[in-house]
Amino acid sequence: MRTSLLVVVTCVALAGCGSIDPPVNVVEVVVVEEPPPTADPVWYPEPVVRWERLNLRGNGRYQVGQQSYSTWSQLDYYEATGLASWRDERFDERLALSGVRYENDALTAAHRYLPIPSFLRVTNLANGEATIVRVTDRGPFRSDDLLDVSRATAERLGFGDVVTRPVRIELVTEPSDSYVLETNYVYGRDAAVSVVSRLVDLNLGHLRTTIIPHQYENRYRVKISDFASVSDANHVADWLSTNLQIGSSLLRSKE
């Protein structure tokens, strides 16, 4: 919100308008600057929240430039409000401090202190959209922002053309369910490969596809895993049915 001062000069009739020091009425005018519009959220599958060992790299003490940081190890609760900025194509395929490729096309984020990996619920305070993300990298370091988010996260939260948005983040420790989607059989491996290639039209994010052959016959299923919710799995199942005319079955994943 920006505030400007509107100065109104009033001439007093008794002294005439030629007085050297006329009385001045100072009126404070509040100019409200509308926040940039958000965009319609883009679907991406949320990561499965599960217990994972801490990465050997990216946790503990680390240094960026002349600044040293010490990460947190065990947390039961964490909530904060601040600014989040999304990472552009310069971060595609870049190695994170954890030593793995940063997934800019999945619901991921970077935080200076939270354990890697950990899970956050991120809420865009500009529109109320929220999603679960997986912390896989360190940052931000070039600003006082609270969080760096992937391009996919920004699209899921409806950032639109705006790089930075106010967010609330909450640590998520309760494990989520895990589901697998398996298509009905298609005949011939080429047909199965075609299904996998067409699935690229979807924002699969962290999801993985596997071609499963029949034990005896020349037919195959395509397995898509792991979904954190039935609604995410149904999104892909509906897409398969509508666009490829292929049915599928939803199974609970075996951990």
Burial 92-116 (b: 16+ CB within 10 A, else e): eeeebbbeeebbbbbbbbbbbebbb
pLDDT score of 88 = 74
Are 168 and 214 part of one and the same domain?
A: no
Domain count, the chain: 3
Domain that holds residue 13: 2-31
pLDDT score of 173 = 94
Are 75 and 159 part of one and the same domain?
A: yes
pLDDT score of 65 = 84
Of 134, 206, 211, 121, the C-alpha closest to 167 is 121
Are 153 and 207 part of one and the same domain?
A: no
Residues 235, 201: Cα–Cα separation, whole Å: 13
Are 73 and 165 part of one and the same domain?
A: yes
Domain termination residue (choose one: 142, 172, 202): 172
pLDDT score of 34 = 63
Domain termination residue (choose one: 146, 172, 198): 172
pTM comes to 0.81
Are 168 and 192 part of one and the same domain?
A: no
| CATH code for position 125 | 2.40.40.10
pLDDT tens for the 255 residues of the chain, in order: 444 433 333 444 444 444 455 555 444 444 445 667 888 999 999 999 998 888 888 889 988 888 899 999 888 899 999 999 987 776 666 777 777 788 888 999 999 999 999 999 999 999 999 999 999 999 898 888 999 999 999 999 999 988 999 999 999 999 999 999 999 999 999 999 999 999 988 889 999 999 999 989 999 999 999 999 999 999 999 999 999 999 999 999 876
Are 239 and 187 part of one and the same domain?
A: yes
In a domain, 70, yes or no: yes
Are 161 and 223 part of one and the same domain?
A: no
Cis peptide before 238 (omega within 30 of 0): no
The tens digit of pLDDT for each residue in 84-109 reads: 998 777 666 677 777 778 888 899 99
Are 89 and 9 part of one and the same domain?
A: no
Residues contacting 97, CB < 8 A, separation 6+: 57, 58, 62, 116, 137, 138
Q: How many CA atoms lie within 13 A of 223 on its CB side?
A: 12
Residues 139, 251: Cα–Cα separation, whole Å: 37
Q: What angle do CA 102, 235, 233 make, to 5 degrees?
A: 75
| CATH code for position 228 | 3.30.70
pLDDT score of 13 = 42
pLDDT score of 255 = 60
pLDDT score of 37 = 83
* Phi, psi dihedrals of residue 243, rounded to the nearest 5°: -95, -30
